[in-house]
Structure 1
Amino acid sequence: MPSFLDLGVPAALADVLAADGKTDAFAIQRDTLPDSLAGRDVLGRGRTGSGKTIAFALPLVARLAASGAKTRASHPRGLVLAPTRELASQIAATVAPLAAAEGMRVTTVFGGVSQRPQEQALRAGADIVVACPGRLEDLMKQGVVSLDSVEIAVLDEADHMADLGFLPGVTRILNSTPARGQRLLFSATLDRGIDSLAKRFLHNPVSHEVDEASVPVGEMTHRVLVAADADAKKRLVEDLASGTGRRILFTRTKHHAKKLAKQLSSVGIPSVDLHGNLGQNARERNLAAFSADPADGGVRVLVATDVAARGVHVDDVELVVHVDPPVEHKAYLHRSGRTARAGAAGTVVTLTLPEQRRDVKDILRKAQISVGLEDVTPAIVAELVGERAAKVKYVPAPVQQQGTPKAKSGQGRGNAQAAGRGRSGGRGGRGGAQGQSSGAQAGGTQRDQAQPRQRGAGQGQSRRSPQVYSTSTGAPGGAQGRPRSAGSRRASRPQGN
């Protein structure tokens, strides 16, 4: 496997990756980097976990650094478009340390948070903007940002953009960038208008497709357990959540995710939730708590809707549980992709009731997963749970005005708090993603207008025993998220998650 230096990556950028334990290129990086570093337009196809972010982050930073152009206020030279705000934050967390090595600044632009810190970061001369289409278009119309100096434009998760109805906005945005700039488009598929988008905006592109066998997925084991009834399923969920490793439990509705996190916490399994009804502050705190070491106030269990099925990367998720089977097979694959990433091993468990057997079999068939359905036995439960974590008494967390739990080493440099710390009523300053902090890595699918202002989720660990955890379930003393500014309520269309 070639190293990044072998592929022509500048030494300063290769050193940044090496410091994070990344020295050998994955297939999508190995295939695309020679072309993208040479200035060619690239169309890359590969599923989640294939390493696409580094594949476009490296040429983005390297070529901007080599161009020698000076960034003017409100005229960024690099642009990355992402479908959701959590994914934008995660991309910024990857790009920021690379950009910092070349003396460049990164900021994120998305809805659901105050617009002011984003304006300040742009006017301070951010070199690279990682943005969701809705908020970016708003800022363009207000004259806060111009894309006439963009040298390199990247479109990530283009198929998900199409799913969310963002392609018209993406088209308008790309039309606002210089026609002969370099463009990199990454997508899992080329259907739903992606092919026509590529033909319109990419000039003589080089296409690279990573087959499934070359993606470093580690060992992903799939199991399907049939619970006798709803009560048996409830007990099984509690058992599966009680292990010592990180696990993500997926539900179909926001209400169920919120309720389940509260139920698990009440029986001594501290859990946080992630769904479309959470404000940005609460999402950041909950993802930060899930990313953090439990000894530093973190939690082992994240209960989520499909908002977390794309974009969220937290190391060492050993178990994904489909508490509610997904509606369709693509959701199954994206949910399952939260484990067994980058060569690590993981297990995916789907829970089903007898009357759901046919639907689950159909989803697995379309996902090309060959696995039998098993009745629940004590031996199976013991095998999947492994060592059980000690139960911790649930105590609602007191209000915390600032700070998040300390993230596990290696998690999300410069994260969702990148753009002016990305908070409603955010603090001033440049707000670039290079202001690194140890917060959540994020991902999601819900649209911004679906984010009502509400109570957030204070995380952390108190100075007294027992440990203190909180979910967004309205527990007494939960942290109150800051209200949004008028700027974040201005648009009526989706802002990007």
Structure 2
Amino acid sequence: MNHPDPTPATTPVTSFADLELPPGILRTLADLGVREPFPIQAATLPSALAGRDVLGRGRTGSGKTLAFGLPLLARTAGRRAEPKQPLALVLVPTRELAQQVTEALAPYAHALRLRMATVVGGMSIGRQTAALRDGAEVVVATPGRLHDLVERGACRLGRVRITVLDEADQMCDMGFLPQVTEALDQVRPDGQRMLFSATLDRDVDDLVGRYLHDPVVHSVDPSAGAVTTMEHHVLVVHGPDRYAVTTEIAARDGRVLLFLDTKHAVDQLTRHLRASGVHAAALHSGKSQPQRTRTLAQFKDGRITVLVATNVAARGLHVDDLDLVVNVDPPTDPKDYLHRAGRTARAGESGSVVTLVLSGQRRELSRLMAEAGIEPTVTKVRSGEAELSRITGAKAPSGIPLDGGPAAPRPKNTNTPFRGLGTSKDASRGTGGKPSRRATEARKLAEARKAARVRRGG
């Protein structure tokens, strides 16, 4: 399917005061110091407030939450939901994004006396059932948990008049398309739909064709990689030096987000960083939701300066003034790169994205970067070098453990690669974690020979 041609839309506004927003929303905007709409808000708000379906293409951090949230709340104001029957629905791919959307919209909902419920996995389904039973005009949900509640009869979608799909491409990538279409089939067929996505590929195309009626199309900041305030660096490192490079970057002044491929690698690196005196915390799907929420709060308020994460943090995570993202493990998909990169340089701020690679990974990464439309600066670096500090702010860690116990050994260029930092299990076997069987047998043989020499007096 081809995307619909943009329907002529109303002229973008330059001030929230120019819109027909309820006084409660305008007061709350003023109280929170939100004065001028971001481009995607200025472009979509008039159409959305008029009840039009909206297809918004914009990178994360471009202000999409208020772009769909303010019209949704304004058009729901004054109505009252029956038990288990919400009037507006926002579908998002992750628990973190659901909580961020809820937190962003809560002050405006409160001003309009609208009740919100957040419906996500990893949290008490009993409490969520109770919140729906008590009545909630607006539900922010992940598709899987919403499906569970609908199946239980705890939520009915037949009265939903406004439906938003946020980060639609990620929901499709994560396999949620069946639950998303199931929900869209149950909401009011004559209702308003707003779909926001950083990319508009095949599955999102299908959703647009099936469920949006004559949408007004807006494209603002279509690619995270196109942001002129973002610098992209590829740092070519020597394999045994990769751990030391990562540790020195983590010890920089200011916050940094480190991406790795596996939960095991995230946990292992986090332990090492804390033993080196770096205020680091881990974020991945193996953590409980309360743990993930607490970790994010500590990272946002500065108690944690390094967030070590799997791709669970690649989308939807909004942290103000985060100026460095590091791919310790290079991503394998262009979209993953762009979404990881989108955690920095948000809302017009500047930022850098650094990807660590071994010499053997350069060709594959070059292909990925080209597909993502990125032309990075490539630099060979070693730990302790001024060039590494110039690009990333890297410095030596304090070495004072944060959790007691012995200090982590100072990584040296002679160290073997850290398990999980850009190495496959096969490549790293015997170089981290438990020693290989061959190494164990060799050690035992050497010990036996030494013992024999001692017995012989040699």
Residue equivalent to 2:314: 309
Residues 224, 374 of structure 1: 8 Å contact kept: yes
Residue equivalent to 1:380: 387
Aligned to 1:97, which of 100, 104, 107?
107
* Unaligned segments of structure 1, at least 5 residues: 398-497
Report SS of the residue matched to 1:146: coil
Alignment of 1:69-84 (within 5 A): 69-84=79-94
Once the two structures are TM-superposed, the CA of residue 164 in structure 1 deviates from its matched residue by 1.3
Report SS of the residue matched to 1:193: helix
Alignment of 1:301-380 (within 5 A): 301-376=306-381, 378-380=385-387
Report SS of the residue matched to 1:252: coil
Residues 225, 338 of structure 2: 8 Å contact kept: no
Once the two structures are TM-superposed, the CA of residue 287 in structure 1 deviates from its matched residue by 1.1
Matched residues in 2 for 1:74 and 1:165: separation? Answer: 26
Matched residues in 2 for 1:93 and 1:263: separation? Answer: 33
Counterpart of 2:247, as a letter, is E
Once the two structures are TM-superposed, the CA of residue 216 in structure 1 deviates from its matched residue by 10
Aligned to 2:279, which of 270, 280, 291?
270
Residue equivalent to 1:53: 65
Residues 76, 126 of structure 1: 8 Å contact kept: yes
Aligned to 1:261, which of 270, 273, 277?
270
Matched residues in 1 for 2:190 and 2:176: separation? Answer: 23
Report SS of the residue matched to 1:258: helix
Report SS of the residue matched to 2:181: helix
Report SS of the residue matched to 2:354: strand
Residues 87, 312 of structure 1: 8 Å contact kept: yes
Residues 248, 394 of structure 2: 8 Å contact kept: no
Deviations 1:238-264 (A, max 9, x none): 111111211001111111111111110
Residues 222, 348 of structure 1: 8 Å contact kept: yes
Residue equivalent to 2:118: 108
Aligned to 1:391, which of 385, 391, 398?
398
Matched residues in 1 for 2:168 and 2:244: separation? Answer: 39
Which stretch of structure 1 is more off in the superposition, 192-201 or 339-348? 192-201
Matched residues in 2 for 1:133 and 1:247: separation? Answer: 30
Residue equivalent to 2:167: 157
Residue equivalent to 2:418: none
RMSD: 2.1
Deviations 1:429-468 (A, max 9, x none): xxxxxxxxxxxxxxxxxxxxxxxxxxxxxxxxxxxxxxxx
Counterpart of 2:386, as a letter, is A
Alignment of 1:435-474 (within 5 A): none
- Runs of 4+ aligned structure 1 residues displaced above 4 Å come to 211-218, 387-390
Once the two structures are TM-superposed, the CA of residue 233 in structure 1 deviates from its matched residue by 1.3
Once the two structures are TM-superposed, the CA of residue 55 in structure 1 deviates from its matched residue by 0.5
Deviations 1:310-342 (A, max 9, x none): 011111112111111111111111111111100
Residue equivalent to 1:457: none
Residues 3, 23 of structure 1: 8 Å contact kept: yes
CA distance 1:268–1:214, change in 2 (3 Å): closer
Matched residues in 2 for 1:154 and 1:109: separation? Answer: 15
CA distance 1:317–1:202, change in 2 (3 Å): same
- Equivalent pairs counted in the alignment come to 390
Residues 74, 146 of structure 1: 8 Å contact kept: yes
Matched residues in 1 for 2:191 and 2:396: separation? Answer: 53
Matched residues in 2 for 1:215 and 1:36: separation? Answer: 27
Q: TM-score, normalised by structure 1?
A: 0.75
Matched residues in 1 for 2:380 and 2:72: separation? Answer: 50
Residue equivalent to 1:495: none
Q: TM-score, normalised by structure 2?
A: 0.81
Residues 217, 344 of structure 1: 8 Å contact kept: no
Report SS of the residue matched to 2:56: strand
Deviations 1:258-308 (A, max 9, x none): 111111000000200111211212211211221123xxxx11000011110
Counterpart of 2:181, as a letter, is T
Deviations 1:348-399 (A, max 9, x none): 11111111111121121111111232111522122134385973743449xx
Matched residues in 2 for 1:18 and 1:392: separation? Answer: 46
Counterpart of 1:24, as a letter, is E
Report SS of the residue matched to 1:278: coil
Matched residues in 1 for 2:296 and 2:128: separation? Answer: 22
Matched residues in 1 for 2:273 and 2:253: separation? Answer: 14
Residue equivalent to 1:283: 292
Which stretch of structure 1 is more off in the superposition, 239-248 or 375-384? 375-384
Once the two structures are TM-superposed, the CA of residue 84 in structure 1 deviates from its matched residue by 1.3
Report SS of the residue matched to 2:326: strand
Residue equivalent to 2:248: 239
Once the two structures are TM-superposed, the CA of residue 44 in structure 1 deviates from its matched residue by 1.2
Residue equivalent to 1:450: none
Matched residues in 2 for 1:233 and 1:271: separation? Answer: 18
Report SS of the residue matched to 2:258: strand
* Bigger proportion of residues as helix: 2
Counterpart of 2:296, as a letter, is L
Counterpart of 2:374, as a letter, is I
Matched residues in 2 for 1:312 and 1:70: separation? Answer: 31
1 or 2 for the larger relative contact order (CA 8 Å, sep ≥6)? 1
Matched residues in 2 for 1:200 and 1:213: separation? Answer: 25
